[in-house]
Structure 1
Amino acid sequence: MVAAEPAAAGGLLQVQLPAPRARRGNVPRPPPVHREPRPRPGDRRGRPARAPRRGPPRRLRHRPCPPAAAPRPHPGRGARRLGAGAVGRAAGDDRHQSPGAGGPDDRRGRRVIALAAPPGWRGGPGAAPLDGRLPDPPHAAGRSRPAHRREDLAAPHPQLHVAVQSLSPKGEPAVALTDEARNAIADEAWGVAEKIKPSAASLDANRAYPGDHLDALAGAGLAGLLIPPEHGGKGGELTSLALACEAVGWADGSTGLVHLLPLCGSATIGAKATPEQAEAWLVPAASGDSLATLAFSERATGAHFYMPEIKAERSDGGYVLNGKKSFVTSGGHADLYPVLVNASGGEGLDVLVIQGNDEGVSFTGAWEGIGMTGNSSIEMVLDGVQIPADRIVGAEGDGQELVFNVVAPTFLIGLAAVNVGIAQAALDDTIQHVKTRKNAGGVLAELPTVQTEIAEMTIAVEEARALVMTAARAADAGDPAALPLVMQSKIGATETAIDVTGRAMEACGGLAYSKRLDIERYWRDGRAGSVMAPTNEVLKQWVGKLQTGLPLF
């Protein structure tokens, strides 16, 4: 409280303030007294020396070790079914699990994809292991075998036949081509590529379908690249597919895509074709007289083309299809359309072959993409289409196996190689341009920044090509590490195409932005692959799951 007292005449008002309360923390403390530490004997810093311990030393407590236990599979890592097999972990060291070791449920640390057992093998407890073993992956060639890999325990897993087997008729293992045969296929592809490349810009400007380019490829026998020789094809595998697709992609990205999808279609049919189907469908496809392209995607499924909504309904001993398929490459131009649908008999997927002239089949729209303009990727409408029972590929429910065992490796490797070709074409044109383009009394190639750009583009293309070829050879060899490699090849190659074509635009300057150079076409075509299903984002998730031992689905 403030107390005021009246002041004397002519004086000031006297104000008396209350004394402050003494509170804890406000009480003044005396200043500290500084004292020098007194040194003590035995310690430099003034601390007393520790006296030696007297008496017997302490005894350490020893706990008995538990007896060694047999290794157990990790809990919660059960197999997730994919058709007739599973994606999971099997074989903890670098050995392959034998058929008698409990089947694919023995999870010991190795990532495998199991979709089909070799013909003639009868598994089960106590079954004898298969003779031989899988070859080493390509990147291990020339290296000494690690000591922990014992030859007597390296019997192959009965279900590690992934891509090679699927490209052969009736599920029989394919015979690998020799290097001379592969080089011959590559030479034929590059010979055709050099002939069709000059007309690529015209097709792009007119948004025309590359029918003449497909005829030229068929004339060289490349339409039957993945069809067995007994049906008129070359009997190729993924390695020869990569070599050929890079050449075609170098000539024209649109032609590379339009050529790839019929190869996937014929490979899908050939994986489980009956003799009658092979004679009616594969022989004409090998000669180029017939074109078979996939019709798997649907608008509602997006990047997950392996999850269709259309279901096959039974009718009069056959099937009835209703619905729409989107992004059908060569829609309206192909003769055969393997269609992925839900099986009529319950769970699972079926692949049914539709002919372009079947009643109820129609195509709508036009391709209006910014790139890959020489294409006809449009919508297919199925309105009560009657499909005879003999047009199913394999048996009912085999569709999922065909998707992951045939379509996926073929499409991913082929598309990756096409994008390597696009990147190589952009690099070649950039080098040619900077060597001749005048700049301040010299040429662009003399600028250090341009030289660095060319070097980085070259390294990126070589890295992408090496990844694609490594993945293709690993898949052809049946290597269990091929599955993530195939996925990585598509990711790496398509992202390289985006990066290299973008660098080409910068190195070539304003002319690259115009139609005077093909760089802008490469730039547009190079952006399509990353968003093609399965998209790069989906593939990255799958690779991450495989690397960490998680199921794909």
Structure 2
Amino acid sequence: MAVERLLPTDEGAELVALVREVARAELVPRAAADEAAGRYPRDVFAMLGGLGLLGMPYPEELGGLGQPYEVYLQALEEVAAAWMSVGVGVSVHVMSCHPLATWGTPAQQERLLPDLVGGDRLGAYALSEPQAGSDIAGLTSRAKRSDEGYALHGTKAWVTHGSQADVYTVFARVGESPPAGLTCFLVPGDAPGLGFGAPERKMGLSSSVTAGLHLDGVAVGDDRRIGAEGQGMRIALSALDSGRLGIAACATGLAQAALDLAVGYAQERRQFGRAVAEFQGMQFLLADMAAAVDSARATYLLAARKRDAGMAFTRDAAVAKLVATDAAMRVTTDAVQVLGGYGYTTDFPAERFMREAKVTQIFEGTNQIQRLVIGRQLLGSLGGSSRAAR
């Protein structure tokens, strides 16, 4: 069913409606088959770039649509409701553009951003490492000074679009002082010395390629360093705050899809001479699912509106990510229950929704990390919160 949305402008409402229409027409019909086959939908990202979705929250002078984040996130929710792998891919791509769009020089933005926001080139975000996990201060990838810039060494883990992206936003340490030396670089996908591990075999999001990234002396010029040396921590955390809102919106879209499936099934399925939707117990279950979806949407929209207003939103982003992803896990599990035995089969998408929901509680910072961020924000101990981010 169509979600009743409150958008700030008529233009924003039209954009979200257009994305929803395209998602229903182009993504829903192929999602199940492509997920089952593990096909990577690169063509879809190009199409969404053509619609303006990949640059929706970025300024028009940088090639974007200049829309508020609350508009972009609601459009992203519609994509995720149609095909979660694509929604997550869009969220990661938009997050990977954040450092360039926010911290890059005008020359860097003019040269590199239009192809990214237009969908001609795909971005990836390479921060996590096999041993560091959520501890940014524990990152060991190094950027050593060379005659023409830097030589990057190290390994990154859990890179969405790994081996498929054209540009990787990579964080590595310059010098020996953690975390002060952390620095951001844009690495071309075809750079010599850049390699990838085998794609991870995941329980869900089979159409989303996740792979490790290996840096073996990758040469990066000064013109591909984003910000100053040592600004990487600030840049990474800023991108993650926005990225968490993207995941919250995706989780909400997934939960909405599961709710719609459950409501439709309950209205059609008949037992004891009437639709199961007429039983009070079923109505209560569906009501709790709807309340969870509405609450998830409200939390990410509050955070987005604070972001759009230029207010601090780190805690709000963590709350949104925590609430929305926990809601997705609960709602998709309940959707399987509503469908009964059919929910456990691949004939219906309920089981896929449930598998896809689980990872939302893990990436962009586990929900335990979100609680840590929220708690430290509440208690004012911000000095230590920067360590735990992913």
Contact kept? 2:52, 2:118, Cα under 8 Å: yes
Map 1:294-309; keep pairs closer than 5 Å.
294-305=125-136, 307-309=138-140
Give the SS at the match of 2:130.
Answer: coil
- Quick check: 278-287 or 254-263, which moved more? 278-287
CA distance in structure 2 between the aligned counterparts of 1:306 and 1:445, rounded to whole angstroms = 52
Could you say which structure has the larger radius of gyration? Answer: 1
Q: How many residues align?
A: 375
State the match for 1:449 in structure 2. 281
Instruction: Please state if 1:349 is matched with 2:182.
Output: yes
Instruction: Please state if 1:186 is matched with 2:6.
Output: no
Map 1:192-203; keep pairs closer than 5 Å.
192-195=22-25, 196-203=27-34
Map 1:508-523; keep pairs closer than 5 Å.
508-523=339-354
State the match for 1:383 in structure 2. 216
CA distance in structure 1 between the aligned counterparts of 2:47 and 2:272, rounded to whole angstroms = 44
Paired amino acid for 1:295: A
Map 1:154-233; keep pairs closer than 5 Å.
179-195=9-25, 196-233=27-64
Instruction: Please state if 1:324 is matched with 2:181.
Output: no
Instruction: Please state if 1:373 is matched with 2:206.
Output: yes
CA distance in structure 2 between the aligned counterparts of 1:250 and 1:368, rounded to whole angstroms = 23
TM-score by length of 2: 0.92
Contact kept? 1:546, 1:552, Cα under 8 Å: no
Task: Identify the match of residue 394 of structure 1 among 227, 246, 257.
Answer: 227
Residues 19-45 of structure 1, C-alpha deviations (whole Å, 9 max, x = no match): xxxxxxxxxxxxxxxxxxxxxxxxxxx
Map 1:471-482; keep pairs closer than 5 Å.
471-480=303-312, 482=313
Task: Identify the match of residue 410 of structure 1 among 242, 249, 261.
Answer: 242
Give the SS at the match of 1:358.
Answer: coil
Residues 510-530 of structure 1, C-alpha deviations (whole Å, 9 max, x = no match): 001001111111101111111
CA distance in structure 2 between the aligned counterparts of 1:345 and 1:271, rounded to whole angstroms = 27
Q: Tell me which stretches of 4 or more aligned residues in structure 1 moved more than 4 Å.
A: none
- Identity across matched positions, percent: 31
Residues 159-195 of structure 1, C-alpha deviations (whole Å, 9 max, x = no match): xxxxxxxxxxxxxxxxxx9523322331222122112
Q: Which runs of 5+ in 2 are unaligned?
A: 1-6, 385-390
Paired amino acid for 2:19: A
Contact kept? 1:238, 1:413, Cα under 8 Å: no
CA distance in structure 2 between the aligned counterparts of 1:343 and 1:236, rounded to whole angstroms = 35
Over 3 Å counting, the alpha-carbon distance change for 1:178 and 1:469 in structure 2 is closer
Give the SS at the match of 1:309.
Answer: coil
Give the SS at the match of 2:311.
Answer: coil
**Structure 1 position 441, deviation (Å):** 2.0
CA distance in structure 1 between the aligned counterparts of 2:138 and 2:121, rounded to whole angstroms = 28
**Structure 1 position 431, deviation (Å):** 0.7
State the match for 1:424 in structure 2. 256
**Structure 1 position 287, deviation (Å):** 1.8
CA distance in structure 2 between the aligned counterparts of 1:384 and 1:426, rounded to whole angstroms = 46
CA distance in structure 1 between the aligned counterparts of 2:247 and 2:189, rounded to whole angstroms = 25
Contact kept? 1:491, 1:530, Cα under 8 Å: yes
Paired amino acid for 2:218: V
Give the SS at the match of 1:312.
Answer: strand
Paired amino acid for 1:397: G
**Structure 1 position 306, deviation (Å):** 6.1
Give the SS at the match of 1:463.
Answer: helix
CA distance in structure 1 between the aligned counterparts of 2:32 and 2:291, rounded to whole angstroms = 27
Instruction: Please state if 1:286 is matched with 2:82.
Output: no
Instruction: Please state if 1:548 is matched with 2:379.
Output: yes
Contact kept? 1:192, 1:216, Cα under 8 Å: no
CA distance in structure 1 between the aligned counterparts of 2:266 and 2:355, rounded to whole angstroms = 21
Over 3 Å counting, the alpha-carbon distance change for 1:502 and 1:293 in structure 2 is same
Give the SS at the match of 2:33.
Answer: helix
State the match for 2:103 in structure 1. 272
CA distance in structure 2 between the aligned counterparts of 1:264 and 1:306, rounded to whole angstroms = 20
**Structure 1 position 266, deviation (Å):** 1.3
- Using CA pairs under 8 Å that are at least 6 residues apart, name the structure with larger relative contact order, 1 or 2: 2
Over 3 Å counting, the alpha-carbon distance change for 1:423 and 1:178 in structure 2 is closer
CA distance in structure 1 between the aligned counterparts of 2:80 and 2:136, rounded to whole angstroms = 24
